[in-house]
């Protein structure tokens, strides 16, 4: 197994993570436009440019602070963050509740498709180079493995039924109005709920099985 320096690890991680976050957010906007809402497009957020989706606090400051403080306080790293949400005006959708559920689900769905794409990249490296490979092939395999894992993680995590996560929005728009209102009232506390699950170590038992299952299914689909 090839060992990489800290800078090399950062480079291997950066591309799949940026692609995963960018396409996740952009997919919300593209699907919303398909159903009649052009808010993201008018605000310049219907873009595959990662810079347009970077939140200075959620994408940079919070993850960096959590990595530093968790390593110092707990002895192991914790990572949490978010991108700038793509704006969607549900009132502009042709069928607001149904379409909003689909718009919300589009982000995690895009991540599963990206995970499949990275798995195909991984497959191609074995077809072309075989089990033994040089530095660049090993690096590409490492990047592809990160791409599969991170996209599965993002898909499963975002489908947790906690607003404002995508799963919370899907649940809210599938439930009858009275129950939907109850779910929506959780949204101001959703971030704190997720952070609480993360800090207490309860988040991985919730998402880990789904991540492992989705990875196994995707890897099996490409014949690895």
Q: Which residues are catalytic?
A: 25
HSE of 73, CA atoms in CB hemisphere, 13 A: 8
CA distance 39 to 85: 12
Residue 68 CB partners (closer than 8 Å, separation 6+): none
User: 47, 105 in Cβ contact below 8 A?
Assistant: no
DSSP the chain: -----HHHHHHHHHHHHHHHHHHHHHHHHHHHHHTT--HHHHTT-----GGGG--IIIIIIHHHHHHHHHHHHHSS------PPPPP--GGGSSSHHHHHHHHHHHHHHHHHHHHHHHHHHHHHHHHHH-SS--HHHHHHHHHHHHHHHHHHHHHHHHTSS-TTSHHHHHHHHHS-HHHHHHHHTTHHHHHHHHHHHHHTT-HHHHHHHHHHHHHHHHHHHTT-
């Amino acid at each position: 197994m090839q060992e990489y320096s800290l800078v090399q690890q950062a480079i291997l991680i950066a591309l799949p993570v940026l692609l995963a976050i960018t396409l996740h957010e952009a997919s919300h906007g593209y699907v919303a436009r398909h159903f009649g809402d052009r808010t993201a497009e008018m605000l310049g957020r219907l873009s595959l440019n990662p810079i347009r989706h970077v939140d200075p606090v959620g994408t940079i400051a919070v993850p960096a602070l959590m990595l530093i403080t968790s390593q110092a306080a707990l002895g192991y790293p914790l990572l949490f963050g978010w991108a700038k949400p793509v704006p969607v005006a549900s009132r502009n959708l042709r069928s607001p509740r149904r379409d909003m559920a689909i718009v919300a689900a589009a982000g995690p769905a895009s991540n599963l498709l990206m995970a499949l794409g990275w798995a195909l990249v991984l497959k191609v490296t074995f077809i072309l180079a075989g089990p033994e490979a040089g530095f660049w092939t090993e690096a590409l395999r490492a990047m592809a493995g990160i791409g599969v894992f991170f996209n599965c993680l993002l898909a499963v995590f975002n489908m947790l039924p906690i607003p404002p996560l995508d799963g919370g929005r899907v649940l809210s728009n599938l439930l009858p109005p009275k129950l939907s209102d109850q779910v929506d009232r959780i949204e101001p506390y959703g971030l704190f709920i997720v952070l609480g699950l993360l800090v207490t170590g309860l988040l991985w038992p919730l998402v880990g099985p789904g991540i492992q299952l989705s990875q196994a299914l995707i890897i099996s689909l490409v014949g690895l």
